[in-house]
């Protein structure tokens, strides 16, 4: 049986960094969430533990250092998107952490999938500007 879309699965580690009623977000430069705000984080590299990925990804995407973290519930959801005229469904599995950082987050692109990061007022986050990852994570 054929379908009119391609399935893709992704598992990643992501940080909820909240200070003064603001969430630290990255501006996605590529992938299914291009053009949306997203959580700092990403894929595990070979041999990495979840926490090592968390610390590395936050450093790469924000230039900040992790001072503490606490794992919170893992979430999963399906996100339909279109790429090169092909319809896809992303099964996204996200291991979430509440994170504290030190340093000043960069507004500069990381050269990979982030066009820099910003502090976004929690009340300004909506389905028009934020990835479904953010929307689902904030429900936790």
Domain that holds residue 133: 6-139
Strand partners, 98: 16, 70
Tokens for 3? 């379908």
Question: Which pLDDT tens digit goes with each residue over 25-70?
Answer: 999 998 899 999 999 999 999 999 999 999 999 999 999 999 999 9
Calculate the average pLDDT of the chain.
94
Per the domain annotation, does 22 fall within a domain? yes
Higher pLDDT, 134 or 112: 134
Per the domain annotation, does 26 fall within a domain? yes
Per the domain annotation, does 1 fall within a domain? no
Which CATH number do you get for residue 106? 3.90.79.10
Question: Which pLDDT tens digit goes with each residue over 12-24?
Answer: 999 999 999 999 9
| Count of structural domains, the chain | 1
pTM for the predicted model, two decimal places = 0.92
CA distance 56 to 64: 10
Least confident of 57-66, 67-76, 77-86: 77-86
Within 10 A of 95 (CB to CB), how many other CB atoms are there? 19
Per the domain annotation, does 100 fall within a domain? yes
Per the domain annotation, does 36 fall within a domain? yes
């Amino acid at each position: 049986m054929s379908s009119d879309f391609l399935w893709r699965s992704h598992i990643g580690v992501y940080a909820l960094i909240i200070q003064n009623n603001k969430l630290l977000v990255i501006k996605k430069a590529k992938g299914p969430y291009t053009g949306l705000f997203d959580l700092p984080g990403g894929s595990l590299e070979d041999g990495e533990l979840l926490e090592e990925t968390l610390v590395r990804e936050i450093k790469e995407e924000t230039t900040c250092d992790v001072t503490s973290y606490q794992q919170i519930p893992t979430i999963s959801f399906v996100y339909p998107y279109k790429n090169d005229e092909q319809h896809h469904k992303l099964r996204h599995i996200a291991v979430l952490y509440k994170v504290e950082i030190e340093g000043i987050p960069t507004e500069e692109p990381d050269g990979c999938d982030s066009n820099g990061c910003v502090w976004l007022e929690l009340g300004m986050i909506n389905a028009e500007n934020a990835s479904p990852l953010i929307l689902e994570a904030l429900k936790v």
